[in-house]
Amino acid sequence: MVLATMAFCYFLGDWDVDVWVREMQHLDSSLDLRIWPEVGRVEDIDYALAWKPPPGELKKFPNLKAIFSLGAGVDHVYNDTDLPENVPIVRVVDPNLTMRMSEYVVLHVLWHHRRQRIYDHFQSEGKWRDLSQPAASETRVGVMGLGELGIDAALKLKTMGFRVAGWSQSRKNIDGIDSFRGRGELKAFLNRTDILVCLLPLTDGTRGLLNGAVFRDLAKDGAGDGPVLINAGRGKLQNEQDILTALENGDLYAATLDVFEEEPLPSSSPLWSHPRVTITPHNAAVSDPRAINAYILRQIKRHRAGEKLDNVIDRAKGY
């Protein structure tokens, strides 16, 4: 199919433009690719491929047929309160991204479960010492957000022997995973959770959810060192002052954070130097240019052929 009669516009923020363009041209060298802000005639643009598009820019394309988020989350598109109406917003659902996220979740659950922070400390002191070690089957992991990413991570943790539950809007029926739904079942979900993994989207219904009241409800009778938070969803899901307070009062023992209220995390944040906090720079599951471009191009080819787009977000729900 000839795609040369239409134009794509990339919004790439601080990502590597050369790599994204090279990978897309590798897939189809005939494409008319524009890189914001050098967009040329706004009437030409059929598809926007966007990471953090500046508010107001998408509205300028009168012939826009779809907006592709370059990540799984779409809150960075929603930041624009003046989005064109009736243009579908499509998010990434791709095995490459899903596997990366599950690697991250499994790594950090195991790292806390196996008490690796303490062994690193022993090593720094040249100390040969072993600690008691609960079995995975004694450790209860709770995954907030049982969507594309949460389900895959939950199943991998279950395979490793952990006792896994998930929390979502709707009830799930997944073999071996206990399902909790909605605010009414949140407390029960937290009460049975030793390691809380957050893979929720940022919406009006989830903003600020990871707060002191939630940490207070986490199980305090676990086999490990105490409740752990792993957040790879979005930074604005969490209240960082409440995380620090909970780390002091024992509602949390430790945390792994990939996302932050403000990114990059300001150098003044006490999280950087907290002895029981692990920080990664919002790279739990990076968007791989080759895989994500291929996913989007497949969708566009199908769309041009009159087929429906997949993974269009529900604007009313916000994810």
Distance CA 235, CA 246 (A): 17
Contacts with ligand NDP, residue ranges (CB under 6 A): 71-73, 101, 145-150, 167-170, 199-203, 205-206, 232-234, 258-259, 282-285, 319
Distance CA 161, CA 143 (A): 15
Distance CA 94, CA 148 (A): 9
Report which DSSP code applies to 128: -
| Interaction pattern, residues 48-77, with ligand OXD; x per rule: CB under 6 A | -----------------------xxx----
**251 within 8 A of 216, measured Cβ to Cβ:** yes
Q: What is the smallest separation between the CB atom of 61 and ligand OXD, expressed in angstroms?
A: 22
Nearer to ligand NDP, 46 or 80 (CB): 80
With CB under 5 to 8 Å by kind, the binding choice for 233 among ligand OXD, ligand NDP, none is ligand NDP
Site for ligand OXD in 226-285 (CB under 6 A): 285
With CB under 5 to 8 Å by kind, the binding choice for 149 among ligand NDP, ligand OXD, none is ligand NDP
Other Cβ atoms less than 10 A from the Cβ of 88: the count is 16
Our answer to whether residue 207 is catalytic in this structure is no
Q: How many residues bind ligand OXD (CB under 6 A)?
A: 6
Distance CA 221, CA 227 (A): 9
- CA-based end-to-end distance of the chain: 31
Instruction: Name the 3-class secondary structure at 64.
Output: coil
Structure token pair of residue 272: 């950087």
With CB under 5 to 8 Å by kind, the binding choice for 208 among ligand OXD, ligand NDP, none is none
The residues with which 140 forms a beta bridge, in sequence order, are 163
Our answer to whether residue 76 is catalytic in this structure is no
Distance CA 260, CA 203 (A): 15
With CB under 5 to 8 Å by kind, the binding choice for 150 among ligand OXD, ligand NDP, none is ligand NDP
Peptide bond preceding 37 in cis form (omega within 30 of 0):
yes
Nearer to ligand NDP, 139 or 287 (CB): 287
Q: What is the smallest separation between the CB atom of 71 and ligand OXD, expressed in angstroms?
A: 2
**164 within 8 A of 177, measured Cβ to Cβ:** yes
Q: In degrees rounded to 5, what are phi and psi of residue 213?
A: -65, -40
Distance CA 231, CA 215 (A): 13
Among 193, 206, 239, 287, contact with ligand OXD (rule: CB under 6 A): 287
Q: What is the smallest separation between the CB atom of 91 and ligand OXD, expressed in angstroms?
A: 8
DSSP labels, 85-104? TT--EE----HHHHHHHHHH
**Nearest residue to ligand NDP, scored by beta-carbon proximity:** 147
Annotated catalytic residue, options 117, 282, 290, 315 = 282
Site for ligand OXD in 83-102 (CB under 6 A): 92
Annotated catalytic residue, options 113, 115, 163, 234 = 234
**Nearest residue to ligand OXD, scored by beta-carbon proximity:** 71
Residues classed as catalytic: 234, 282
- Residues in contact with ligand OXD by CB under 6 A are 71-73, 92, 285, 287
